[in-house]
Amino acid sequence: MLNNKKIIVVLPAYNAEKTLKNTYKEIPFNIVDDVIIVDDASIDNTVEIAHELGINNIIRHEKNKGYGANQKTCYDKALSLGADIIIMLHPDYQYTPKLIPSMVYAIANDLYPVVLGSRILGKGALKGGMPVYKYISNRLLTFIENILINQKISEYHTGYRAFSKEVLKKINYHANSDNFVFDNQMLSQIVYAGFEIGEISCPTKYFSNASSINLKNSFIYGLGVLKTSFCHLFQKTGLLKFKIYEKPC
Per-residue CA distances from 219 to 85, 133, 210, 222, 223 (Å): 33, 11, 19, 5, 6
Residue 188 has pLDDT above 70, yes or no: yes
Architecture category of domain 7-245 in CATH: Alpha-Beta Complex (3.90)
Predicted TM-score of the model (pTM):
0.94
Residue 56 has pLDDT above 80, yes or no: yes
* Mean predicted confidence (pLDDT) in 30-56: 98
The enclosing H or E element of 9 equals: strand 7-13
Residue 100's pLDDT is what? 98
Residue 51 has pLDDT above 70, yes or no: yes
Residue 155 has pLDDT above 90, yes or no: yes
Evaluate whether 210 touches 134 at the Cβ level (below 8 Å).
no
Residue 6's pLDDT is what? 98
Residue 18 has pLDDT above 80, yes or no: yes
* Mean predicted confidence (pLDDT) in 172-182: 97
* Mean predicted confidence (pLDDT) in 204-215: 72
Residue 218's pLDDT is what? 87
Write the CB contacts of 168 (distance below 8 Å, at least 6 apart in sequence).
Answer: 75, 78, 79, 86
Residue 211 has pLDDT above 70, yes or no: no
